[in-house]
Structure 1
């Protein structure tokens, strides 16, 4: 998957906001101030770090060489996905949407309801 296509996809999610708090090589995407994705250049390739459930994350890391436990993140709750290995663009978008949805599900009820109405 191309980095620019991924950035465009993440930016279109309701109320998604991006910034570069860790420098120009790492773009962080947040919803209501909570991070759901980090797109960065590591070891010569573009990767995205996403939130997931511990059970799903273990399964994904076992099934794909392009998915590892979250780089510099809680290894149970985050995964890092290579944009250049064995994970197709559709699956990367699905994982990003799941990360967004998981973060939204933990927001206060009023904020969660408001965001769900925007989808």
Structure 2
């Protein structure tokens, strides 16, 4: 997935808003005024943070090297995903879907 694919996927979700509240390097997606995804625009490979169920967050980190505790976030509730080719598009979309669903 590219940054544009991630952006388009997020914006296709109902009531999603985007913004740059932390400066031009981090694109933020919200639903109901709550953040569900932060996309770094200044990093390659691409990384993004998603909200997760705490138990699921740990399981995902143990299972996939491309998933780490949320960078600059509450590590109990957030994961950072690195788009390095080791995860499928469907898996990446699933992480986004889960994050959105926690807040929608």
What do you get for the CA RMSD once the two structures are aligned? Answer: 1.3
d(CA) in 1 for partners of 2:95, 2:55: 14
Q: 1:89 Cα shift?
A: 1.1
Matched, 1:67 2:67: yes
d(CA) in 2 for partners of 1:67, 1:57: 9
Q: 1:32 Cα shift?
A: 1.3
Map of 1:50-65 to 2, 5 A cutoff?
50-65=50-65
Q: Is the 8 A contact 1:52 1:102 kept in 2?
A: yes
SS of 2:59 mapped into structure 1:
helix
Q: 1:48 Cα shift?
A: 1.2
Q: Is the 8 A contact 1:3 1:83 kept in 2?
A: no
Q: Is the 8 A contact 2:27 2:41 kept in 1?
A: no
Aligned residues: 104
* Structure 1: tracts of 5 or more residues without a match: 105-119
Structure 1: which 4+ aligned runs deviate by more than 4 Å? none
